[in-house]
Amino acid sequence: MRRALRLLLRTLLVLFILANSVVAFHAWKFTHFYDYGSISVKKPGERSGWDVTKDILFGINAMKQRNSVIADSSFQQIQFKTRDGLKLDAWYIPTDHAIGTVCLFHGHGGTKSGVVREAELFRKMGYNTLLLDFRAHGASEGNTCTIGHRESEDVKLAYEYIRNKGEKNLVLWGISMGASTITKAVHDYQLTPQKIILEMPFGSIENAAKGRLKLMGLPGQPLATMLTFWGGLENGFWAFGLKPQEYAKDIKCPVLMQWGEKDPRVSRSEEDILFNNIPGNSKRFVPYSSAGHESLCKREPEKWAQEVSSFLR
């Protein structure tokens, strides 16, 4: 009996160590991007069974994506420098007779060129726009993404740049990680924009992990908790404290919050908690019936333009 018990305990210990090792690899890959061209990425038809097995055991290698839009003479290319010395790349695009400025922040793995369509429509509404590549994304330096923890400084740098230009009517817009990071920047640095637009923000980093696991066809728990623990440990912060739904309590301006009803990563209940935590009555929640976790502007452009322009008036 004792021998069987010892064997069982050893087996459970081995399984525990193996499971945590696999999750630790996935956490690292989720929060780190390789420089563009530094690794080879096979197309789906070229992938072998071993390639799939490696992804399951060690996580998926992700490259920093290049900006797909070439800046022309209407774009002013600017750079910010973070406390830890990283250079962040941004585009400032003015418009004639502007009535304000909108700062735009992309999602995890994206680039500023991915929100150019939204920026174009904001300019048609009369706003200057500033589009930023988060650290470890696009043309910005770095390879580590903390899913909003350190990126809140990136939002602050963009905000301060526009405020220092004398702008009185400043709007913050973000999608997915960009939206969640706005809430943390407001909390961390007491930012006071005139209005905020949040599109499909996650309520906590643990919920974001659940959404990622769901897309991979894996169970949410206990893997999401393990992924959150290792992601924070590897990057030097307490990831369980990264909760945009709590940061939302510090917002002191009108908020438009938007979400796709077919979103496989962010649930309606998660959005409801965050939305209800925003103080006051100057807030509006808008669902999009045909959209998932994607650009609402591209999926339902007419509705997006109507809702956003109405909110900004």
Q: Report yes or no: 311 and 254 within 8 Å, Cβ to Cβ.
A: yes
Question: Domains in the chain, please, with CATH?
Answer: 1-63+205-241 (no CATH), 76-204+242-312 (3.40.50.1820)
* pTM of structure: 0.93
Bridge partners of 129, per DSSP, are 93, 102
- Scored b (16 or more CB within 10 A) or e, 110-136 reads bbbbbbbebbebbbebebbbbbbbbbb
Q: How far apart are CA 14 and CA 142, in angstroms?
A: 35
Q: Rounded to 5 degrees, what are φ and ψ at 236?
A: 75, 35
Predicted confidence pLDDT, tens digits, the chain (313 residues): 778 888 888 888 888 888 899 889 989 999 999 998 777 776 767 777 777 777 777 888 889 999 998 888 889 999 999 999 999 999 999 999 999 999 999 999 999 999 999 999 999 999 999 999 999 999 999 999 999 999 999 999 999 999 999 999 999 999 999 999 999 999 999 999 999 999 999 999 999 988 878 776 777 788 899 999 999 999 999 999 999 999 999 999 999 999 999 999 999 999 999 999 999 999 999 999 999 999 999 999 999 999 999 999 9
Q: Give the Å distances, CA to CA, from 146 to 23, 179, 256, 261.
A: 16, 14, 25, 27
Helix/strand/coil for 242: coil
